[in-house]
Amino acid sequence: MSQNHGDTIPLNASSAQSDMDEIESLIYAAPSATVLPARPTSPPRASIPVSTSPLPAPAKPPLPASSIPIFVPQAPPASSAAPPASVSVAIASDGFGSAPNTLTEPVWDTVKRDLARIVSNLKLVVFPNPNREDPGKALRDWDLWGPFFFIVFLGLTLSWSASVKKSEVFAVAFAVLAAGAIILTLNVLLLGGHIIFFQSLSLLGYCLFPLDVGALICMLKDSVILKIIVVTVTLAWSSWAAYPFMSAAVNPRRKALALYPVFLMYISVGFLIIAID
């Protein structure tokens, strides 16, 4: 009776049962129908240009139980993607008892899985490895937790190092990095480049890792010469990490136009690290 609204799909146009009960009975009727695949790796991400965005099933006519699109699709990647996505995946699968349950697993397992992903992304992006030059492979399993940790950590470190106006320092650092990452991605898109928005945000965040290390060292040891050296080295490392991805995304004639703002952002953060005492 109620037509399709958003993501609830009435399986039976006129049924006295509630939707959830219907679905549950259907699932138990076909026990082998796994609602969603197991999740040893992350859910399939959009690794293709955004123009073919995976707009979810709500518009499709009602399908049999095995492909109930209750799972909140990757469409709202607005905030930190990984754990919410895994929880909502789990709700669909676990609530009906058949698929592996990421909902009832120990918290440590969830955290460990996300940490493992962060570490593997870090290794791909920041450290030399044979896959670096291929942007498609480099950060296929992107996530936003890593960048979030790195940005907040950098802000906190700078704030701890500062002697006056600590909260303002954190605010400036956080704003520069977060807004900077978004603006840099938009810049590439506007120049006619082909990147995926959140993959690029993720990459720019991961490339902050060397600067994080540099900021930590500068906080612990307070000599200006050492700071300059450390910041120069880590700055070069960050730029080297970000270079292949950014330069591959645009037309070669506009490569410098896309890369310059990246260097500008990292240099300004490097300057903040040196100057804050």
Sign of CA dihedral 156, 188, 125, 222: negative
Based on CB atoms, which residue is closest to other proteins, 53 or 67? 53
Residues in contact with 60: Cβ distance below 8 Å, sequence separation at least 6, in sequence order: 69
Question: In this complex, which beta carbon is closest to other proteins, that of residue 54 or of residue 97?
Answer: 54
Regarding 39 and contact with other proteins (CB under 8 A), the answer is no
Residue 194 within binding range of other proteins, rule CB under 8 A: yes
Q: Give yes or no for residue 222 binding other proteins (CB under 8 A).
A: no
Output the smallest distance, CB 60 to other proteins, in A: 13
* 8 Å CB contact between 274 and 223: no
- What's the min distance (Å) between Cβ of 62 and other proteins? 19
Q: Which stretch binds other proteins (CB under 8 A): 34-42, 96-104, 121-129, 249-257?
A: 249-257
* 247 is a contact residue toward other proteins (CB under 8 A): no
Under the binding rule (CB under 8 A), the answer on residue 253 touching other proteins is yes
Q: What are 32's two structure tokens?
A: 């082998």
The structure tokens listed for 138 are 């480099």
Positions 49 through 88 that interact with other proteins (CB under 8 A): 50-53, 55
Round to the nearest angstrom and report the end-to-end CA distance of the chain.
67
Handedness of CA 122, 124, 127, 132 (dihedral sign): negative
Contacts of 19 (CB under 8 A, 6+ apart): 8, 10, 11
SS3 (DSSP) at 173: helix
Q: How far is the CB of 251 from other proteins (least distance, A)?
A: 5
Which two three-digit tokens encode residue 58?
């709500």
Q: Tell me how long the chain is.
A: 277
Q: Per rule CB under 8 A, is residue 193 in the interface with other proteins?
A: yes
> With binding defined as CB under 8 A, does residue 99 bind other proteins?
no
Sequence-ordered list of residues with C-beta below 8 angstroms from that of 14, at least 6 positions apart, any chain? 1
Residues 124-183 that bind other proteins (CB under 8 A): 162-165, 168-169, 172, 176
Across 134-256, the runs of DSSP E, i.e. the strands, are: none
Q: Does 229 bind other proteins (CB under 8 A)?
A: no
Site residues (CB under 8 A) for other proteins?
A: 50-53, 55, 162-165, 168-169, 172, 176, 186-187, 189-194, 251, 253-257, 260-261, 264, 267-268, 271, 275-277
